Amino acid sequence: MGHLLKRRKRIFMAAGIVLAAVIAIAVFIKVEIYISYNSLEAEEYTISSDRINSEVKLALISDLHDHTFGEKNEELVQMLKGQGPDLILMAGDMINDISKDSHVAVELIEQVKDIAPVYYSLGNQEEDYIGRGTSDLLNELKEAGAIVLDESYQDIQVNGNAIRLGGMYDYAFALDGNNTTTKESMRPSLYQFLTDFQDTDSYRLMMAHRPDSFIFGDAAKTWDIDLVVSGHNHGGQVILPVLGGIYGGDQGWFPKYVDGIHHFKTLKNMIITRGLGSGKEKLPRFNNKPEVVIIHLEKE
């Protein structure tokens, strides 16, 4: 009888240990998910160029997906204000395609437009939102104070530097099976836009929501661009130690281009932000803090 009681005691102890471990893991996961949605951080990069004469400071944000950091995004606004950028770049997916309205993005623009000029390019969520006919999004963004660049560009002066700033959503190549960039294969207006965009002595900065728009096929060895800024892939959504982000849209599993800075042949620099939020993905953000990217452009 005593042997049986000891055996039962050991079973109960083992079960208790397993239960405690399961609870601890569940708590850890829940806390890490919360951090991955709410613990803002700033990531900084420096790029040198012979087209830059004096420093320009850019703030890049993307993929807010209607998320808020504090009431009316007060925490995000204060972080941007504290960084003191010369330009604020919003690189798409600031809303969701199923959003009832655009008030989160509009309120954010209204609050930060006095910090620095706000430039906004469209992501897939904005494209789908517009397609649903929910509201006149482009006009709402413009009235809030943003300059919307949709397959268009502006030539601007920032701290004595000439910058050509563009925005696009489409792929910078033809969907012809080979991802070519010839005039004959590409959509004519897109080919002309990219050709015109690169034809300048100004610093060429392109907002393209998807890094996928430039990394495939001939795009990154055809278009002569100094810097492309992107988001879209949420850093891979779930970031694993050593392995990195697990999924990246068109790039599939364990993608290479979902965050950080990358360099190509004619596309000199690409900076990809992990973004600020997440849509209704199959997995939540995990081990993946939301970020504001600060880019320092300096003289080479």
Name the residue ranges covered by the structural domains of the chain.
39-299
The architecture (CATH level 2) of 39-299 comes to 4-Layer Sandwich (3.60)
pLDDT of 14 reads 65
pLDDT of 34 reads 86
Could you tell me which of 114, 117, 125 has the C-alpha nearest to residue 92? 125
| Model confidence pLDDT, tens digit, residues 248-292 | 889 999 999 999 999 999 999 999 999 999 987 778 999 999 999
Residues 6+ apart with CB under 8 A from 41: 289, 290, 291, 292
Could you tell me which of 157, 175, 173, 174 has the C-alpha nearest to residue 165? 157
| Model confidence pLDDT, tens digit, residues 132-147 | 999 999 999 999 999 9
13 or 300, which is more confident = 300
Residue 15 has pLDDT above 70, yes or no: no
The pair of structure tokens assigned to 187 is: 């959509």
Query: What CA–CA distance (Å, rounded) separates 138 from 130?
Result: 8
Composition of the chain by helix, strand, coil, percent to 5: 35, 25, 40
